[in-house]
Structure 1
């Protein structure tokens, strides 16, 4: 399948899932009084579903590690762990919109550097003036949606 519209819709749904997951996991961490336990539960549920999906769609893999694969490709797991732990701990204290807004800002910075320099083997896309203007407008938008209000009493 090479359908940009379908890809866009799938990624919108994935994007919707990020603040929902942050809210749910932050709430779980608060109720369990352990953001780390909440993250471990999230990963366990995700692992079970991912392994079940793998076995149904592809069967048992013959290899997990390939000698020709650079080790840094396996660091994605660390980055996901870092994100889950930090969003689970920070979001209930800082607010979902604030936490996600700064995540978006970080994503825009990282995507621009990865694209511009072709980092980690990614296809290169130069940071041209039009793209810089778009990123600037997105960054301004991120700051405009930050929740500056004081939370209501009892929150």
Structure 2
């Protein structure tokens, strides 16, 4: 069953990779913040339909969750805005890989300390080496992206 979730995460990552140049192009045509707004508006329309027809009726519990649980939307909006700003300036590959490295850095910190209620997974040599290799890869992708 874990394999299915890994495939879903892989598919989600591929969607983010496709979303970046689409949103970058949109942002160049209508403005970065306007592009982010449009992207989230279309997403909101889709999710509204999805909740109405496939939701489990738990939306009323929204007012009972800790307020920090509501930051995900803000963080998602900032992420999309940052990607829209970066893609036209540094390219899709460098933008997405830098974002992934950023996600890995914060994810390892979150795991290590068990932040936000997740299970603690301590830092170890394998995780540190993997992160170091990703940082090295980011450097080489950056170098390969710089005009000669």
State the alpha-carbon separation in 1 of the partners of residues 122 and 57 from structure 2: 40
What's the CA shift for 1:93?
1.2
State the alpha-carbon separation in 2 of the partners of residues 59 and 132 from structure 1: 40
State the alpha-carbon separation in 1 of the partners of residues 55 and 83 from structure 2: 32
CA RMSD of aligned residues (A): 1.8
Which residue number corresponds to residue 23 of structure 1?
21
2:2 maps to which of 4, 26, 35: 4
Q: TM-score, normalised by structure 1?
A: 0.86
2:106 maps to which of 105, 110, 113: 110
Q: TM-score, normalised by structure 2?
A: 0.90
Greater percentage in helix: 2
State the alpha-carbon separation in 2 of the partners of residues 51 and 41 from structure 1: 15
User: Kindly tell me: are residues 27 and 62 of structure 1, through their superposed partners in 2, closer, same or farther at Cα, counting changes over 3 Å?
Assistant: closer
State the alpha-carbon separation in 1 of the partners of residues 56 and 8 from structure 2: 24
Q: How many residues align?
A: 147
What's the CA shift for 1:57?
1.1
Gaps of 5+ in 1: none
Which residue number corresponds to residue 42 of structure 2?
45
- Alignment pair present for 1:55 and 2:52: yes
Which residue number corresponds to residue 129 of structure 2?
133
